[in-house]
Structure 1
Amino acid sequence: MYSANPMGSVGERLLSYIDTSMQRDNNYQIAVRMLENFDSLKDMSISQIADMCFVSKASISRFCRFLGYESFKEMRDALGIDYPISYDYSQRFFRNLTADPRAAFLAYAKEAQQNIAETISEENLAELPKIAYAIHDCRRVAFFSHHFLWDTGRYLQNKLFSMGKVMELYLDRSSQLACAQSLQPEDMAIICSVGGSYPIRHVDVCNSIRDSKCSILAITQNPSNPYWNQAAFVMRCGVSNANDTGKYGALAAIDLVVQQYLLQYGGDAFPSAFDPAR
């Protein structure tokens, strides 16, 4: 059974690199050419890909390792794994979308709104001051997730940084594992996993987090996962991930953390808000 080192598909890795690269060097050009010819990659040899990208086979091998794969073969094996959009949307949803797009959109919005409303629960609100305090006072804070939820981590990272707190965030599994292995009891790990599958898919990362004895904040719709028993905080981010609507609850939970942290530690950014003359 294939066990991918990087989070997500080869396509996601290539897109993430293109989106975040600061240099348009050889690696950037290789990524662009691979994306432009993505449907053909799984049937191409390393020599053919090298010719397509106008580089050497050694350059392709190095680029594969740069993406987080141990070899070209491992990357090509990963290309054989299908990630159809039907994983995100049910056949029933597509039938409804085809029959009546407006009704399907409204039903989708209702489910997303329900997840957001469930996230803003009394239980979550009661925990927020303690969560913000834990983030503020820990030595290091690191975010662990994959796919879209990794992007919510980027959002949290930027917001915390604007309020003086640096949060670590790594895209590939090997870097997440190295970060987890370096955590200490005075640190904090935030694990965002709507379905609660992250501890199952990335056992070594989560075991390292557990062994570090650091504080854990879990953001999930599945609080019954036994791994969360060791979490200091569990924020439930809605009740349904049907048709990929769970992401709205996850983002709502992240926003609650941001706003609570702002309330407790970001007041210096709004001096006029406390000026009686205004």
Structure 2
Amino acid sequence: MLYRFLTYVNSTSSQTTYANIAYYISNNFSKIIHMNLEELADACYVSQATISRFCRFLGFESFTHFKMECQRSLRDGERRINDICSTSSKGDEEYQYFFRGYGDEIISELKDFINTMDIKRLDQLLDRIHNTSDVALFGIHRCSSVIQELQFSFALKDKFVKAYSGFTHQLECAKTLNEDSLVIVFTAKDGFWFEAHDVVDALAKSKCYKILVTTEKNGERQDIFDEVYFLGSGRGRGSLYVMANYSEAMISRYFTRY
């Protein structure tokens, strides 16, 4: 979610009211979850109604919904940092020790993935994407960058796919999918099963063809999917790197085949 604000700030005039609100939020992100509507409006020198309109402009139902997404983003950020190295590691030697271990796990996980990647199944996945008119990609937190890169790259080959990283848009999309649609969910130990219950329930009811691409061998609700693509060994902390490499394989292979 923070990326959304930073992207908005970087792509719009700094003289607009909404840009100033986004700039304040980006500069005080960890404080927002403790502020109420009146406090944020006062801090941005705008009315409460303006803050509410800004939240709706960004696709949130309300200021409360907006704060919930802020909390999710903060939790994901803290989880990512702790994946890299314990924040309690203060000394230089201790930090270097933990960071070296983190790097070793990533290398090991990537090797497992490269040695076990099934090219034929990859081609089957790409064929299904290519031959389906209505394709939606779902991913949250760090996987949101993966699906956005896929969307961008497929568009370069005249193939439009929808890419949704927000729960609200995912839920709206899931309810419109039909038997001619394809949805692909990307998850890399990022809490999708814990945070997207409504989305998963909607997908379970949908008649669309459902594919899961995951680094979690025993993830919840995998039974609702028609196919599951399990990547890597699932042992280490390199899940996101494995997912990023698989998306690069999808892109390069698609360009080769089509």
Q: TM-score range by the shorter chain?
A: 0.7 to 0.9
- The answer to whether the 8 A contact 2:117-2:231 is kept is no
Quick one: structure 1 residues 110 and 141, their matched pair in 2 at CA, closer, same or farther if it must change by over 3 Å? same
**Does the CA contact (< 8 Å) of 1:228 and 1:234 recur in 2?**
yes
Number of equivalenced pairs? 254
Q: What displacement does 1:261 show? A: 1.5
Q: Distance in 2 between matches of 1:245 and 1:96?
A: 23
> Which of 185, 189, 192 is the aligned partner of 1:191?
185
* Match in the other structure for 1:119: 113
TM-aligned CA deviation for residue 138 of structure 1: 0.8
**Residue in 1 aligned with 2:206?**
212
Equivalent-residue separation in structure 2 for 1:23 and 1:46 (angstroms): 24
2:242 to 246, 249, 262: 249
Q: Separation in 1 of the partners of 2:223 and 2:30?
A: 43
CA 1:223/1:196 → structure 2, altered by over 3 Å: closer, same or farther? farther
SS at match of 1:83: helix
Aligned to 2:253: 260
Q: Which residue of 6, 11, 28 maps to 1:15?
A: 6
Call closer, same or farther: CA 1:63–1:234 in 2, change over 3 Å. same
Q: Amino acid of the residue matched to residue 242 of structure 2?
A: G
Contact 1:119/1:238, CA 8 A, preserved across alignment:
yes
Q: How high is the TM-score relative to the length of structure 1?
A: 0.76
Hey, what's the Cα distance between the residues in 2 that align with 1:136 and 1:155? 16
Return the letter of the residue paired with 1:195.
Answer: K
Identity %: 23
Greater shift, 22-31 or 248-257, is seen at 22-31
- 1:219–1:162: structure 2 CA closer, same or farther, 3 Å change rule? same
Question: Aligned pair in 2 of structure 1 residues 232, 123: CA closer, same or farther (>3 Å)?
Answer: farther
Q: CA deviation at 1:61?
A: 1.7
- The answer as to whether partners of 1:194 and 1:241 remain within 8 angstroms in 2 is no
- CA deviations over 1:76-121 (Å, ceiling 9, x no partner): 5666776385523269755498325555444322221222222234
**Which residue pairs with 1:275 in the alignment?**
none
User: Cα deviation per residue 1:113-162 (whole Å; 9 max; x = unaligned)?
Assistant: 22222223445323111111101001211111111110011111111111
Determine which structure has greater relative contact order: mean sequence separation of CA pairs < 8 Å that are 6+ residues apart, divided by chain length: 1
For the pair 1:151 / 2:142, whether they are aligned, the reply is no
Structure 1, gaps ≥5 residues long: 1-7, 266-278
Please state whether the residue corresponding to 2:133 is helix, strand or coil.
coil
Q: CA deviation at 1:51?
A: 3.0
SS at match of 2:46: coil
State whether structure 2 residue 123 is matched by structure 1 residue 132.
no
Whole-Å separation in 2 of the counterparts to 1:96 and 1:56: 43
**How far apart, in 1, do the equivalents of 2:31 and 2:102 lie?**
34
Structure 1 residues 233 and 18, CA, compared in 2 at 3 Å: closer, same or farther? farther
Q: Among 22, 28, 40, which residue is 1:31 paired with? A: 22
CA distance in 2, matches of 1:130, 1:39: 43
